[in-house]
Amino acid sequence: MNLEQLEKNFKSALLKDDLVDTVAKAVAFANGCQQVRKYDSAIACLNTLDVKEPKNLKAVMLTALGAIYWEKGQLNKAMMQFEHALKIFKELDDEDGKAAILSVLGITYWRRCEWDLAIENIKDALNQNACKDERFESLYGAFDRSIVSLHNRIRLGRELEKPMKILQPLFASTALHIILGNFEELKICLNESMVLAEQLNQTDILRAAEGIKLLAVGDANN
């Protein structure tokens, strides 16, 4: 569905007395805006709605807003939204909601090279045994687009023949692959990351790779 139709659906939903549908249409439109890097339009869309109750919808909106800031690279703003959403999802014992937020927290810590904290959050996300909930379309869409971006960086590193420029995005992608259940891609990325890390004497990455490998084995067997 194109962006114009998504916007039309959202504006139409605003005229109806169905907050659940309106939030769903807002998240879908925001995700469409994110796909074409219209982040300010996505934020404006979500800010049109001042959802305070019910709490589950408020948490969905916080997650969607956080996803925009996350994809925009404003990680501090994103983390504020995510932590607020996680608190609500924990109160509601919403497993899919907790899994979504713990996933993005884990991926973010992974990129910040805060390996232990990342593994802890990723493990907690996987332990929720949750599904990829359509309520979090904009977040999972951001994950997919992030993988594409990292693949482009990896390709550039190969063209430049610079091992570190290959290793950094390659290893960053492993957290996304385990969250999304891309176990074949994960195995390939992990193996090459470990070879490069050994060549470059990146001992922290080697240790973190062993940690995520253990998580992957456990999750693949579930």
User: Three-state SS across 86-142?
Assistant: HHHHHHHCCHHHHHHHHHHHHHHHHHCCCHHHHHHHHHHHHHCCCCCCHHHHHHHHH
Q: What is the mean pLDDT of residues 179-196?
A: 93
Structure tokens at 6: 């998504």
The answer, yes or no, to whether residue 192 has pLDDT greater than 80, is yes
Is the same domain home to 20 and 124? no
Give tens-digit pLDDT for 41-78: 999 999 888 888 889 999 999 999 999 999 999 999 99
Determine the pLDDT at residue 221. Answer: 53
What span, in angstroms and rounded, lies between the C-alpha atoms of 174 and 2? Answer: 31
What is the average pLDDT score of the chain? 91
Structure tokens at 220: 């693949």
Output the domain CATH number for residue 216.
Answer: 1.25.40
Among 10, 34, 50, which residue terminates a domain?
Answer: 50
Q: What is the mean pLDDT of residues 128-141?
A: 84
Is the same domain home to 93 and 191? yes
Determine the pLDDT at residue 49. Answer: 85
What residues make up the domain containing 22?
Answer: 1-50
Task: Provide the 8-state DSSP code for 171.
Answer: H
Determine the pLDDT at residue 220. Answer: 53
Number of domains in the chain: 2
Give tens-digit pLDDT for 99-120: 999 999 999 999 899 999 999 9
Structure tokens at 149: 């971006």
Is the same domain home to 129 and 186? yes
What Rg, from alpha-carbon coordinates, does the chain have?
18
- Find, among 210, 220, 138, the residue nearest to 177 by Cα: 220
Give tens-digit pLDDT for 19-45: 889 999 998 999 999 999 999 999 999
The pair phi, psi for residue 203, each rounded to 5°, is -65, -35
Is the same domain home to 94 and 162? yes
Which residues are CB-contacts of 144 (< 8 A; sequence separation ≥ 6)? 180
Is the same domain home to 27 and 110? no
Give tens-digit pLDDT for 163-185: 999 999 999 999 999 999 899 99
Is the same domain home to 39 and 60? no
Distances from the Cα of 85 to the Cα of 54, 94, 183, 201, angstroms: 13, 11, 28, 39
Is the same domain home to 86 and 130? yes
Is the same domain home to 55 and 45? no
Is the same domain home to 120 and 43? no
- Find, among 20, 21, 18, 40, the residue nearest to 30 by Cα: 40
What span, in angstroms and rounded, lies between the C-alpha atoms of 13 and 47? Answer: 15
Nearest-5° angle of CA 16, CA 20, CA 26? 80
Q: Which pTM does this prediction carry?
A: 0.89
End-to-end CA distance of the chain: 35
